[in-house]
Structure 1
Amino acid sequence: MTYSHLTTAELTTIANFFTQGTKAYKVAQMLKRSVETIYRVYRYLKTGATIVDYQQQYVSNKKSCGRKLAQLPQDEVVYINEMVAQVWTPDTIIGRDDRSISCNRRTLYRMFKRGQFGFDAKDLPMHGNRHPNGYVEHRGKAGQLGRSIYERYEDFPNYTKEFDHLEGDTVQGKHHQGAVMTLVEHLSKVEIVLNVHAKKAENINRHLSEWLSKFPRHFFKSITFDNGKEFAGWREIANQFDIHTYFAEVGAPNQRGLNENNNGLLRRDGLTKDRDLRNLPDELVNQLMSKRNRIPRKSLDYRTPYEVLMEHITEDQRQLFSNLN
């Protein structure tokens, strides 16, 4: 039940009735207010104070109302700042529960929005510009390149619970200068970033082939691309590695939501749209990839993608992912 405070007009009316000697319960009926509310004003006026004094006292009291700003111990503040430096969000800091924090998730978000940790809340995921519902992407599309994503679920009924299914895409640089290729393993959410330098089919195939050649045959069961022209040579990869290849529908990036989301995170980490990616150092790409794979994620029960990956590969296979370390 909500409660509205007396307005200035109501207070003036009450003061007039008080001067005229009108009973408080009658005033309450006319104003549709609680009798106790009117009695409270009457008692105040009987002390010789005026309605102006009452209003000033009300304003003074109201300043003490509301939620008090939460204050955390210094050791917790130091820990939170360390995690912020590693691009952890309030949700991750609380959910990971590496150490106890003297507030809940929502309170910590409020602290971030007030700038208490020198962190701009606009840098949090999903606080940037978003396309409206129903948006269809038309840039650089070559039509439906291959088998539909819907066939993937027919071929792999347990797709959502299986390891070794990839989603692939590219992240382009300023003025279409340079690119990296991104691959995300569906179950662990581990992201692989290949420094392909140019968004061309031959570059994509060469670097993807070099990377897949490190793994035993059939280590990866499928790979799902969008319909960008850079993936026009997909048959070569599919035949060479005997890997099932699928394509999302044209203009439907939401069908590869994991890949698209991870690409957005890479943008925030340094591969911005105003950066030329043609001569991107491999060391920087590996650093960004390692950093992103070591941030706990809510969808993984606040484990890191790297931790989940280690649960699904053998000791011998870990060397294949050494650049994530």
Structure 2
Amino acid sequence: MVLPHNPLERRTLMSTTILSFQNRVVIETLHSEGRALRYIANYLGFSKATIFNELHRLNSEYQAELAQTDFEQKVSQRGRKSSLTKNLKHLVEEKIQVQKWSPEQVAHVVGIAYKTVYNWIDQGWLDVQLPDLPDHGIRRHRAKEKRGTFSHGRSIEERPHKVETRQEFGHFEADTVLSGKRKGQAVATFVERKSRLTIVKRLHGRDSQYMTQAVLELANQLQDKLKTLTVDHGKEFANYQTIERQTGTPVYFAHAYSPHERGSNENRNRVLRRFIPK
């Protein structure tokens, strides 16, 4: 399962002459792959000059999130009108209030930074209050972990530095989301660190054999695009040696009680738990 993304809808809601956050993610990805300026421009439908200027926005290596922050700061400083159009305002309010979407989901569809949606709420530009948000504007404490754990495996401290910098596609974080209401049911979540691509697979049980099968299916889909896997010490990953042997992908284990070491995965799981019976 991948969150919905409709480029045509986004283009009608946002100006076609201004790069969106999603555009910037594509620019970062294609540029890191060594794609030519003309290729990136044609792929996104912008002029080469626009792409050239965007790639030189920062005084360091181009990163979509930093570029988006720089853009929004400069817009604020020069008093430019907000990109929140009437149609976009209606869409965001509909998604959050009626369909119970999170700001992160809305931002993904529209193609903007999720912080922008929170800023619109804070500034009163949306008819949305904190209680309207899935988590009421606060992060809840996680329920006590009831899964078994084990202490073997390769430590996250051995993970290559390039995984930490999010400069290369193919480094995934993995976890499970369990249903307490429907005994035995669970899903496996895989989040790619660079692009935040999210893949969800239904598991037929909570044992390690089912998670192992899900990882092998993922590896078969991605082939050599799956470079590393970062997980926690839940027993569902006890067959990590089988995964490494059959896929050639190294598996790294985060420290105990350190969900921030798999932040992308944790954020996606927090959204997904709203749709999983507790």
What TM-score results when the alignment is normalised by the length of structure 1?
0.49
Q: How far apart, in 2, do the equivalents of 1:157 and 1:194 lie?
A: 23
Q: Residue 79 and residue 153 in structure 1: after superposition, are their counterparts in 2 closer, same or farther (change >3 A)? A: same
In the aligned structure 2, how far is the partner of 1:76 from the partner of 1:82? 10
Cα shift at 1:141: 3.8
Q: Are the equivalent residues in 2 in contact too, given 1:153–1:159 (CA < 8 A)?
A: no
Please give the residue correspondences for 1:76-155 in structure 2 after superposition, counting only pairs within 5 Å: 78-84=90-96, 85=99, 87=101, 89=103, 92=107, 96=112, 104-108=120-124, 111-113=127-129, 120-124=131-135, 127-130=138-141, 139-153=146-160
- Shift of the 196–122 alpha-carbon distance from structure 1 to 2, 3 Å rule, reads same
| Runs of 4+ that moved beyond 6 A | none
Does 1:194 find its partner at 2:210? no
Per-residue displacement from partner, 1:27-50 (whole Å, max 9, x unpaired)? xxxxxxxxxxxxxxxxxxxxxxxx
CA deviations over 1:274-299 (Å, ceiling 9, x no partner): xxxxxxxxxxxxxxxxxxxxxxxxxx
TM-score with structure 2 length normalisation? 0.56
The answer to whether the 8 Å contact 1:122/1:128 transfers is no
Partner Cα distance (1:86, 1:236) in 2: 40
State the SS of the aligned residue for 2:172: strand
Q: 2:277 — aligned with what?
A: 272
TM-aligned CA deviation for residue 271 of structure 1: 1.5
Q: Give the secondary structure class of the aligned counterpart of 1:213.
A: helix
1:96 partner SS: coil
CA distance in 1, matches of 2:216, 2:110: 40
Distance change >3 Å, CA 124–CA 108, structure 1 → 2: farther
Contact 2:207 2:236 in 1 (8 A): yes
Q: Secondary structure at 2:230's aligned position in 1?
A: strand
CA 164–82 in structure 1, closer or farther in 2 if over 3 Å, else same: same
Identity %: 27
Equivalent runs, 1:28-39 vs 2, <5 Å: none
Query: Displacement of 1:267 after TM fit?
Result: 1.1
Measure how far apart 1:260 and its partner are.
1.1
- Structure 1 residue ranges without an equivalent (≥5): 1-71, 115-119, 274-325
| 1:199-218 alignment runs, 5 A limit | 199-216=206-223, 218=224
Residue 160 of structure 1 deviates from its aligned partner by 2.4
1:185 deviates by 0.4
The alpha-carbon deviation at position 194 of structure 1 amounts to 0.9
Q: Distance in 1 between matches of 2:188 and 2:249?
A: 18
Structure number with larger C-alpha Rg: 1
Q: What value does the CA root-mean-square deviation take over the aligned residues?
A: 3.5
Task: Deviation per CA, 1:67-91: give whole Å up to 9, x if none.
Answer: xxxxx99756543444434825398
- 2:154 partner amino acid: R
Query: Residues of 2 paired with 1:177 and 1:165: CA distance?
Result: 29
Gap change, CA 1:122 and 1:181, over 3 Å in 2: same
Q: Give the SS at the match of 2:273.
A: helix
* 1:241 and 2:271 are equivalent in the alignment: no
Separation of aligned partners in 1, 2:89 and 2:234: 45
Uncovered stretches (5+) of structure 2, i.e. residues with no partner: 1-83
